[in-house]
A = this chain, B = another copy of it.
Amino acid sequence: MLNQVADLDRVFHALADPGRRVMLERLSEGPASVSELGKPLAMSLAAVVQHVQVLEASGLVRSQKAGRTRTCSLNPATMRSAERWISERRTLVERRLDRLGDYLAATEDSPDQ
C-alpha cells in the first residue's frame, strides 16, 4: 500500500516522463533486460539506467540481477495504489455531479413546465 506522500510523489513523477512510460508499456508485455528497455528509445545506456533507477525507486518496477543481466518487471501493486488515489477522488466528484443532475432533472419535471 502506497499511502505515504513521498511514495506518491515518486510514483507520479516516474509516470510523468514519456520515455519511462514507453519502458512501462514494454514491461506490461513481460519482463525485460535494461538494454531491451532502452531499444526503442533514442538515448544512451547511461540515460536508460537512470530512468530505470527512477522507476525502481518509485516501486513501479522491480529488478533482479542474474550474471551480467539485470531483468526488470512491473509491480502491479504500486500501479494499483496510484490508480486508487486518483479513482477515489474522481468517484467523489462524479457522485456529486450525479446528485446535481438528479436534482436538476427533478426540478424540470415539476408540473406546468
Q: Does A104 sit within 8 A of B, measured CB to CB?
A: no
Which residue of B13, B76, B92, B97 contacts A16 across the interface (Cβ within 8 Å)? B13
When chains A and B are docked, how far (Å) is the Cα of A18 from the Cα of B93?
A: 20
Copies in the complex: 2
Q: Measuring CB to CB, which residues of chain A are less than 8 angstroms from any residue of chain B?
A: 5, 8-9, 12-13, 15-18, 21, 24-25, 27-30, 73-74, 76, 79-80, 82-83, 85-90, 92-94, 96-97
When chains A and B are docked, how far (Å) is the Cα of A28 from the Cα of B94?
A: 9
Residues of B within 8 A of A86 (CB): 15, 79, 82-83, 86
Residues of B within 8 A of A97 (CB): 76
Inter-subunit contact B9/A18 (CB<8 Å): yes
Residue of B nearest to A21 (CB): B8
Quick one: which of A87, A90, A96, A97 has the most chain B CB within 10 A? A90
Q: Tell me, rounded to whole Å, the shortest Cβ–Cβ distance linking A70 to chain B.
A: 18
Inter-subunit contact B12/A15 (CB<8 Å): yes
**A/B interface sample: 18 pairs, CB < 8 A:** A5-B18, A8-B16, A9-B16, A9-B17, A12-B12, A12-B13, A12-B16, A15-B15, A15-B86, A21-B85, A24-B89, A25-B89, A28-B88, A28-B89, A28-B93, A74-B90, A82-B86, A83-B86
